[in-house]
Structure formats: structure tokens, C-alpha cells
Amino acid sequence: MHAKPRTRRTAVTAVLCAAFALGAAACGPFSDDAKPAGPFGGMTGSQIVDEAFAATRAAKSVTVDVDEQGPVDPLKAYLSLDTRGRCAGTLTMGVDRTVELIRPGGKSVYMRFDEAFLREQVKEDGPETQDAMVKELKGRWVKGPVSDPDNQGMLELCDLKSLLGGFERGASGIAKGAETTVGGQKALTLTEPGDGGESSTVYVATQGTPYVLKIVTKGGDEPGTITFSKYGEPVGAKAPAAKDVVTTD
């Protein structure tokens, strides 16, 4: 059995819960009674957000771009995922610890760790152990079961249902804002103020399907941005060549 770097559960859940608090509780002044003209007509902010998250949950595939400034380490992720369990992309923890991830569907996941990540995982074991880890695993894919708790931590962003699981229908206090563009698509901003200066803003597509295009959380312990794009596009998640794979039990 080959050595496997120890992984830690990311802080993704925290930033998502903060971002998706838009649907969890009422905060600030009520705005549901206002009905200004716009791309969604007389729909309230709550109704628009409900429709947008319903459309996003129903998407066959999507790409998410996460940029979170956590209390300890920043986290960045760029992952494409679909409803068939396929997922591919990268996660960067801290300044330079990066892991590439491929889940072709099924029960296995493949991860390729950069040298900084490998050395960080065994930093307390001394230079010789670090060098051995790098020699064995650098440039190679580590294959492991999706059911492994460490792997599940890395796969938090690969499940669209879990990604949107913090959203609840029927929120109030969501203010309709200005129209803008996100990734070249026209969008309406909808904002809910929170406690202590924290706020969450959802950008919803105003043309075609009303998908969520971006969520920005400001203030609080886990400020960050999640951008959604490439809805409905195929996810390239092909398993690596066997010669490049190290299998762990």
C-alpha cells in the first residue's frame, strides 16, 4: 500500500452557508412589497431568488469558481460538475497548495497534489519523509474511494445538491437592486443585509433561464465569491492513464 497525503476538510461549507443565508432568514428592512419595473416585472426579491435557485438546482451541469477569504487560509476552487457524479478541476488552499481533482463518476476519485501540498502534509516528519513523499507522488494521480472521509472533504463542491442545500424558500427582506453584467450575461442584483455589517448579494440572469450567476458575501468570518458559469456544458472528467496512477487502500 502506498503512502497517501493527509487531507483536511475545507471551509467551503462555512462560506456556502453564509452565502446561502439569503434563503434562511429575514434580515433588515422588508422589501417584498416593492414592485418596481424590471426584467422580472412585479416579482418580489424573494420570488426571484426562489426561482433562480430552483433553476440552478435543476441544471444538468455547471462550473463553479470559488474565492474565499477564510479566517485561517484562503481557499480557491474551479470545478466543473454534473448530475451524473462527474467532477473535474482544481482546489488551492492557502497561497500555493494545489490539488487537481477528477471524479469520472462511480466510486473512485483521482487527485494530483503539487509539491507544496505534499510537503505540507508531512511537514512534521522531517525533510527525508517529505522528499520521499514528493518522489513517490509528485506528478502522479492518487486513486482512492469517494467514501473515504478525507476524500469527501475534498469533494464538497462536487455535489450540486449539497452545494445548494443551505437554501430555503420564502425568504423576506431581499432587496432588488440594479441591473449589471456577470461574465457577459445581463443580471439583476438581489441583496440581503445581515448582522454586523455582513451582507449577501445574488446575481440572477435576466435573459433565458434565470440561473444564479454569482453570490458575493461581504463581512463576517467567511467573506467570499462564488461564480456559476457554463450551465449545461459537458464535464470533461476522464480517468487518468493507468501508468500515471497510484492506488491507495
Q: What is the pLDDT of residues 147-171, one digit of tens each?
A: 998 888 888 889 877 777 655 566 6
State the Cα–Cα distance between residues 199 and 190, nearest whole angstrom: 11
pLDDT above 80 (res 244): yes
Q: Are 61 and 231 in contact (CB under 8 A)?
A: yes
Which pLDDT score, from 0 to 100, does residue 69 have?
A: 82
Which residue did the predictor score with more confidence, 187 or 23? 187
Which residues is 149 bridged to in the sheet? none
pTM comes to 0.80
User: Per DSSP, which regions of the chain are E strands?
Assistant: 61-69, 74-82, 87-93, 97-103, 108-113, 141-145, 175-182, 185-193, 199-205, 212-218, 224-229, 245-247
Q: What is the pLDDT of residues 209-225, one digit of tens each?
A: 999 999 998 887 778 99
Which residues is 81 bridged to in the sheet? 62, 87
Band the pLDDT of 38: cuts 50, 70, 90. low
State the Cα–Cα distance between residues 229 and 102, nearest whole angstrom: 19
State the Cα–Cα distance between residues 192 and 155, nearest whole angstrom: 29
CA distances to 52, 172, 198, 220 from 169, in Å? 11, 10, 21, 23
Closest by Cα among 199, 129, 156, 137 to 8: 156
* Angle formed at CA 135 by CA 132 and CA 97, multiple of 5 degrees: 95
CA dihedral 119, 121, 123, 129 (to 10 degrees): -70
SS3 228: strand
Q: Given the DSSP bridges, would you call strands 245-247 and 141-145 parallel, antiparallel or unpaired?
A: parallel
Mean pLDDT computed over 94-116: 92
* Distance from chain centroid for Cα 50: 19
